[in-house]
Structure 1
Amino acid sequence: MKLQLLTVIALATPLLLSNSVQAENKQDLYKLLSTGECVSCHLSGANLSGAHLIGADLRGANLQGANLTEANLEGADLTGANLAGANLTSAFVTNVNLKQANLNGANLTKATLNDSNVYQASMNDLTITDAQIHNTAIGVGGEDAQIPDWD
């Protein structure tokens, strides 16, 4: 009986730890929403849908898989932030610093991106369907992209 209990605990422990590690940190979420600053915060999977994060300092924050649908990120600093797999559908991303950010697999459907810095950002597998992108270095292409023959 003891051996079975130990086996169950041994198998369940990694699952329990992985869920707690991947979940948002409630203190970090409160800090962000109350102060607008949360440098290197752990907010993976956080629900920030519709949040007003104007001018927020999120340098180095982990927002992997976060829901930022319809969020206003105007003037936010997301330098080095991890936004892999984040949902930014219909988000307002104007004058945002995304330098060296990880945007791999992010969903920017119908998002508005104006005058944002994406220098050295990783942007593989972005979804930019119906996004409005102005003065921001995001485009369709990649190392296998074909340059059209306009002749």
Structure 2
Amino acid sequence: MDAIELQMLYAAGERDFRNIDLSSASLSYINLSQATLIRANFRHANLRWANLREANLSWADLRGADLSWADLRGADLSHARLKGAKMPDGTIHD
């Protein structure tokens, strides 16, 4: 699945994207609020300005991802892999 297909499925009402692999994808400004993204691979993805509000990102791989200005309010990041991720506040997760 690529970013365009993901956006089309989300717009059609799909919210369950478990185990999706979008490593290194350009996903800036994407809206995935309230999506289930358990074990998703967003390693090195560009998620700048993404709307991930209330998304379930538990066990997701976000290593090296750019989450600058992303909306993560209410998102579940339990057990997510964040090493090297650029967080919304501009810090790099260690």
Which runs of structure 2 are paired with 1:85-124 in the superposition (5 Å)?
Answer: 85-105=69-89, 122=92
Cα separation, 2, equivalents of 1:70 and 1:122: 22
Tell me the alpha carbon deviations over residues 48-105 of structure 1, each in whole angstroms, 9 at most, x when there is no partner. 1001000001100000010000000010000100000000001111000010010143
Specify which structure has the higher proportion of strand. Answer: 1
Q: How many residues end up aligned between the 2 structures?
A: 85
Match of 1:57 among 41, 44, 48: 41
2:86, 2:51 → 1: CA distance? 15
Cα separation, 2, equivalents of 1:38 and 1:60 = 9
Structure 2 counterpart of 1:26, which letter?
A: I
Task: Point out the structure with max Rg over C-alpha.
Answer: 1
* TM-score (normalizing by structure 2): 0.78
- Shift, 1:30, TM fit: 5.9
Would you identify which runs of 4 or more consecutive aligned residues in structure 1 move more than 3 Å?
27-31
TM-score, normalising length: structure 1: 0.50
Tell me the percent identity: 39
Q: Which stretches in structure 2 are left out of the alignment for 5+ residues?
A: 10-16
Query: What is the letter of the counterpart of residue 46 of structure 1?
Result: I
Q: Which one of the candidate residues 57, 60, 70 is aligned to 1:76?
A: 60
Say if 1:72 and 1:34 are closer, same or farther in 2 by CA, change over 3 A.
closer
CA distance in structure 1 between the aligned counterparts of 2:72 and 2:79, rounded to whole angstroms: 15
- Structure 2 CA distance for partners of 1:78 and 1:29, relative to 1, 3 Å: farther
Quick one: higher RCO (CA 8 Å, sep 6+), 1 or 2?
2
Unaligned runs of 5+ in 1: 1-24, 107-120, 124-136, 138-151
